[in-house]
Chains A and B, each alone.
Chain A
Amino acid sequence: MFPKYDVIVVGAGHAGCEAAIGAANMGSKVLLVTMNMQTIAQMSCNPAMGGVAKGQIIREVDALGGYSGIVTDWSMIQFRMLNKSKGPAMWSPRAQSDRMAFAMKWRSLLEHHSNIDFWQEMVKGIVVKNGQARGVRTGMGIEIESKSVILTNGTFLNGLIHIGEKHFGGGRAGEKAAEGITEQLQELGFESGRMKTGTPPRVDGRSLHWNRMELQPGDPQPTKFSFTDTPLLKDQIPCHITYTSKKVHEILKTGFHRSPMFNGRIRGQGPRYCPSIEDKIDRFADRDRHQLFVEPEGRDTCEIYVNGFSSSLPEEVQYKALRQIRGFEDAKMFRPGYAIEYDYFPPVQLFPNLETKLVRNLFFAGQINGTTGYEEAACQGLMAGINAHQKINDKAPFILKRSDAYIGVLIDDLINKGTDEPYRMFTSRAEYRILLRQDNADIRLTPLVTELGMNAMNIRMHRVIEKKAQIQKIRKYFSKTSITPDQVNGYLERLGSALISQKVKLKSILSRPHVDISGLRKAVPFIENELQQFVEEDVQSAEIYIKYEGYIQKEKDLVEKMNRLESVNIKDDFDFTSLGSLSAEAREKLNKIQPRTIGQASRISGVSPADISVLLVHMGR
């Protein structure tokens, strides 16, 4: 009934979809197995993509040939560039998506790919022969053969949903949990753990008093995620902001003794940075209100997502508390919030290509690795998809360095440090965030996948080359062209910046704090004339290079230093226990993680610089 596939992807969430498309675009024959074809690419929680650090990840996924950015551009109903007042490394795109349009667009893109087949069933186990994944076994007992398997099970592995004192098995509200896979993997020797996450109630938008809340409109000039020709958002739908109150907190507290979080029924570790409302009240008792974002779930639905009100309290407590919130006085609830516990596998059990160390050709991506967030899942899926293809074709693994991408930071953190709580990306996790900007994701990454031979990247690569040339032209213009005092002093005076007394290069003016290109071109006609020929994005990128040259160079120097260690490889199966000069802790950690380069080894906690020198000596450089 089935041909032999190159790659079987188990699960069709954000990780699964990206894994399928990544492998398929590399040229592999892919089977996407999901328990329910109707729920492909669900936004199980917040109907939004991007945000600080996460927006950068989606731009990176797009630059690497993934589809999350494209799908978001097609389905968004509001766009904001966050952190616009900070430096360019912090600018982070975020979009509110139409949940249903998002899922439909993903499904349609997958269906249009001739390398992707579908199968609807629960996977019960993985076929493992000679320590290698060779396919999957389904609930009906069918064995489907493949050269590799990618697991992207999200919250479904032994998922357990909690609402107050009630709890029941399930991977998502109204959907069954997946059983069998964890048990099989444990038998194979995998270590597993439990994690917890939660989601807020959904309410009926028709029952809310919008005029009692603050309006949060989208950007007047929205941009987008994809570097390809996706449509630009036109009609935006606003979000709203409201706040909890002491009264809301009092009501919520009446349910605390029935909360699975507080009575110890939930054992899994939840994320500190995405706390439930009861957690916020409990831990930060001095705050008498918390901010809530009231977000539409789509263009053609009245369903509303109450961002900031994640809860697993009994439904009637949630309901009573909701109705005390300003604007929610007459709110009707569609469904209560809930907490969900699920199995994950500590990601130190993975190689940098996301392949498991115990079973060859088996890859993990997404929440199964202890991460949280669509963006974190999507990028792992894409990397697993590409790497599964590389592996079965005996090609070198595709690994991004910490200095290449947030994706590189994420995977490197996971496999070397593991994680005790659901891992979310923050810009502060990146050492080189000035280099890892959303505006240059294509320049950083598109050449890398093009070189791998990913399908349809040539046209994107052409754009990158063009973009680089344009940026170069603008930079050259600014460093070659001079400006006289009478041309620019008026503008400088308005800014309170020191006036010039003789001709200077444009570059030196632009490098001053508070001076920017948009102000400069408005004030000085000849600059405007010159810049008209360029697209806005390229001008912006060029401005970043000119204004922040010193900082960019500083980080580049740091990267270069670090990369020297990255290029020193450690032999496979190197026996670290034989090195007496290493500290005991380093020996143990190194043996467990089996780093592939000295650079990787240096980031494992417990491995000191002295240990690294010892390793270098023994690598026989």
Chain B
Amino acid sequence: MQTDLSDTIIALSTPPGIGAIGIIRLSGPKAIKLVDQVFFGRNLTKVEGNTVHYGKIKDENDRILDECMATVFRTPKSYTREDVVELSCHGSPYILNQVIQLLIRMGIRQAEPGEFTLRAFLNGQLDLSQAEAVADLIASDSSASHDLAMKQMRGGFSNEIQRLRQELIDFASLIELELDFAEEDVQFADRTKLKALVEKIQGVIRQLLSSFQLGNVLKQGVSTVIAGKPNAGKSTLLNAMLQEERAIVSDIAGTTRDTIEATLNIEGIQFRLIDTAGIRDARDKIEAFGVERTMEAIQASTIVLYVIDVIETSQQKLIEELKAFNIQNSKFIIVLNKMDLNPYTKPEDYYSEDWITSDNVITTSALNKMNIDYLKEQLFNLVISDKSLMDHTIVSNSRHYEALTRAAESLDAVDSGLKTGISSDFVAMDIRQALHYLGEITGEISTDDLLGNIFSKFCIGK
């Protein structure tokens, strides 16, 4: 239950993406004690509140994950009025996730949306009008979260988890049947099959967990190259998408001479955006080098955002460019930019047969940040609709990572229960836990499933 105040919670409190620093915040009764166990520097359990300390974060294998500053706040003098630790780490999403996962493995729970603020309110720190806002945030955020999770996992795994969960429910029903209808001549659950099923589910969970820890997405994101002719507005587009000034922009064609990278998180999926030098015949050496880099980047990328200036580029020219740079072999989105300069441009004018269609043409004005959200949505859709991409982008949400970890623990208990031959009511208890955690991922949590299943499948009752 997300409203459990006795848990210690954790979340990244700086925006996702690469930054100079990233701040991880923890709140709850065990915050200081648990951080101290992985923090090598001053003994944080002994330090005063409102103090900052330098140290290293090490994982279970003594590997240093990061050097960081830990700020300790002691109850009630903190935002939530609980014990709070803020870890200022280096701003790499990969490192930050590693640190968060380490602390989750130690028993800290991923915070729900708005939960720090909720706690602040529950502990008397905020007034009601602030709290109302929190309530709305919670309501809107979590209604979307399961859908989102399922969308992200559409690449085969969500179905798989759903199917395995159903199989586990069937088994749990058989076991409950033995327990509640012992008097009747009911069939018994085949322990060997149950063991095989548990192992199968463990296998899938392990795969999912490792995708989270090692997957390309978290390390690098989906590589997305922004390409196009000089001065098409590629850097402006990058900045609009990041909502910051990352690339240097000017109206002098060729301002970007090297590739620039930035990470963007769209609804839980990481994109590595690569801004490139414009593609044109190289006139000077530096630019020739830039063009070469661009070509390489396109070849190595997963998605190409091909940007054109609608005033400069006709449909015919566009097709020539795409062909010249082999872009038709990549997944791509055509961005018709600078619509503000020629609002009468129709995207239909650029369609060609079935490879340039309404599905992959988007009109924008990067300068005015017009249609940028729609572009992000399209990027997200492109990724989730592609199975080959999805295999790398499965578990990206820490909450799901946590649920999977807990499910695996419960299944371990089922497994060892079966090995020692402990009686089935205890096995059933661990199966229920596993079902609960798997349900947190698929969004189905109900114990009524079991009875319904029993009654529909078995002839029981005197």
**A272-287 contacts to B (CB < 8 Å):** 272-275, 280, 283-284, 287
Q: Hey, what's the 0/1 contact readout for B1-18 against A, CB within 8 Å counting as 1? A: 111111000000000000
Q: B349 near A: Cβ within 8 Å?
A: no
Interface residues of A (CB under 8 A from B): 46, 51-53, 82-83, 85-87, 89-90, 271-275, 280, 283-284, 287, 290-291, 293, 307-308, 310, 426-429, 431, 433-434, 513-514, 548, 551, 554-555, 561-562, 564-565, 579-583, 598, 602, 608-614, 616-618, 620-621
Q: Determine whether B121 belongs to the interface, using a CB cutoff of 8 Å to chain A.
A: yes
Chain B residues whose CB sits within 8 angstroms of the CB of A514 once the complex forms: 421
Given contacts A51-B183, A428-B451, contact A610 B139 (CB under 8 A): yes
| Nearest 7 interchain pairs by C-beta | A87-B423, A284-B459, A610-B142, A272-B455, A87-B425, A273-B461, A581-B135
Closest to A564 in B: B4
The interface residues of chain B lying within 8 Å CB-to-CB of A90 are: 179, 182, 423, 425
Q: Which of B3, B142, B182, B451 contacts A83 (CB 8 A)?
A: B182
A83-B459 in contact given A428-B451, A612-B3, A620-B128 (Cβ < 8 Å) = no
Contact partner, A426, options B141, B451, B462, Cβ 8 Å: B451
Closest Cβ of chain B: how far from A278's Cβ, in Å?
13
Q: 29 A-B residue contacts at CB 8 Å?
A: A52-B179, A90-B179, A90-B182, A272-B461, A275-B459, A275-B461, A283-B459, A284-B459, A291-B185, A427-B176, A427-B179, A428-B176, A428-B428, A428-B450, A429-B451, A434-B429, A513-B422, A554-B429, A555-B429, A565-B1, A565-B3, A581-B135, A583-B143, A609-B2, A610-B138, A610-B142, A613-B138, A614-B139, A621-B121
A422–B4 Cα distance when bound, in Å, is 35
Is B54 part of the contact surface with A, judged by Cβ < 8 Å? Answer: no
Residues of chain A within 8 A (CB-CB) of B132 are 581, 617
B67 at the interface (CB under 8 A from A): no
Q: Which residue of A lies closest to B4 (CB)?
A: A561
- Smallest distance from the beta carbon of B252 to chain A beta carbons, Å? 51
Interface contact B183-A52, CB-CB below 8 Å: yes
A617 touches B459 (CB 8 A): no
Q: Which A residues are CB-close (under 8 A) to B179?
A: 52, 83, 86, 90, 427-428
Q: Pick the contact of A427 from B180, B459, B462 — CB < 8 Å?
A: B180
User: Within 8 Å of chain A (Cβ to Cβ): is B118?
Assistant: yes
CA distance A51 to B460 in the complex (A): 14
In the complex, besides A291-B184, A428-B179, 8 extra interface pairs with C-beta distance below 8 angstroms are A52-B182, A82-B182, A428-B447, A433-B425, A583-B143, A613-B118, A617-B122, A621-B122
Nearest A residue to B123, CB-CB: A621
Which B residues touch A608, using CB under 8 A? 142-143
Could you tell me which B residues sit within 8 Å of A by CB distance?
1-6, 112, 114, 118, 121-122, 128, 131-132, 134-136, 138-139, 141-143, 176, 178-185, 420-426, 428-429, 447, 450-451, 455, 459-462
Chain A residues near B423: list those with CB within 8 A. 85-87, 90
Q: Is the CB of A551 within 8 A of B429?
A: yes
Which residues from chain B contact A82 at a C-beta distance below 8 Å?
Answer: 182-183
- B143 to chain A: which residues have CB within 8 Å? 583, 608, 610
With A and B bound together, what is the CA distance between A89 and B4 in angstroms? 28
Residues of A with C-beta under 8 A to B134 = 617
Closest CB of chain A to B334's CB: distance in Å? Answer: 39
Query: What B residues does A86 contact at CB under 8 A?
Result: 178-179, 182, 423-425
Decide yes or no: A614 and B138 within 8 Å by CB, A429-B451, A548-B426 being known contacts.
yes
Question: CA of A620 to CA of B124 in the docked complex: distance in angstroms?
Answer: 9
Tell me the complex Cα distance, A429–B122, Å: 32
Given contacts A52-B179, A273-B460, A427-B180, whether A582 and B1 have CB atoms under 8 Å apart is no
Report chain B residues within 8 Å CB of A308: 462
Chain A residues, Cβ within 8 Å of B114: 613
Task: Give Cα A548 to B420, complex, Å.
Answer: 14
Q: Which residues of B contact A291 (CB under 8 A)?
A: 184-185
A548 to B122: give the CA distance in the assembly, Å: 37
Q: Chain A's nearest CB lies how many Å from the CB of B47?
A: 30
Q: Assess the B1–A602 pair: CB atoms within 8 A.
A: yes
By a CB distance below 8 angstroms, the chain B residues around A284 are 459
| Cα–Cα distance between A565 and B122 once the two chains are bound (Å) | 13
For B428, the chain A residues whose CB sits under 8 A away are 428
Measured between C-beta atoms, what is the minimum distance from A137 to chain B in Å?
39
What is the CA–CA distance of A25 and B420 in the complex, to the nearest angstrom? Answer: 48
Question: Closest residue of chain B to A616, judged by CB?
Answer: B3
Of the residues A307, A548, A565, A581, contact of B462 by C-beta under 8 Å: A307
Are B182 and A434 neighbours in the complex by a CB distance under 8 Å? no
CB of A52 within 8 A of CB of B455, answer: no
Contact A614 B135 (CB under 8 A): yes
Across the interface, B118 reaches (CB within 8 A) one of A89, A271, A617, namely A617
Give CA–CA (A353, B101) in the complex, Å: 45
Contact status of A280 and B183, CB under 8 A, knowing A551-B426, A610-B138: no
State in angstroms the CA–CA spacing of A581 and B113 once bound together.
Answer: 14
B112 to A, closest residue via Cβ: A613
Residues of B within 8 A of A272 (CB): 455, 461
Instruction: Decide: B459 and A287 in contact? CB cutoff 8 A.
Output: yes
A contact residues around B455 at 8 Å (CB): 272-273
Q: Which B residue's beta carbon lies closest to that of A84?
A: B182
> A618, B461: Cβ atoms under 8 Å?
no
Known: A428-B179, A551-B429, A561-B4. A616 touches B118 (CB 8 A): yes
Tell me, rounded to whole Å, the shortest Cβ–Cβ distance linking B131 to chain A. Answer: 5
Q: Which one of A271, A551, A582 has the greatest number of beta carbons of chain B within 10 Å?
A: A551
Question: A611 — which chain B residues lie within 8 A by C-beta?
Answer: 139
Cα–Cα, bound, A382→B143 (Å)? 42
Which residues in A have their C-beta under 8 angstroms from that of B426? Answer: 87, 434, 548, 551
Query: B140 to chain A: closest CB distance in Å?
Result: 8
A271's partner among B128, B422, B459, B461 (CB-CB below 8 A) is: B461
Which of A51, A275, A427, A610 has its CB near the most chain B CB atoms (within 10 A)? A610
Chain A residues contacting B3 (CB-CB under 8 Å) are 565, 598, 609, 612-613, 616
Q: Closest approach, in angstroms, between the C-beta of A230 and any C-beta of chain B?
A: 24
Determine how close the nearest CB of chain B comes to the CB of A74; give it in whole angstroms: 24
A53–B425 alpha-carbon span in the complex (Å): 13
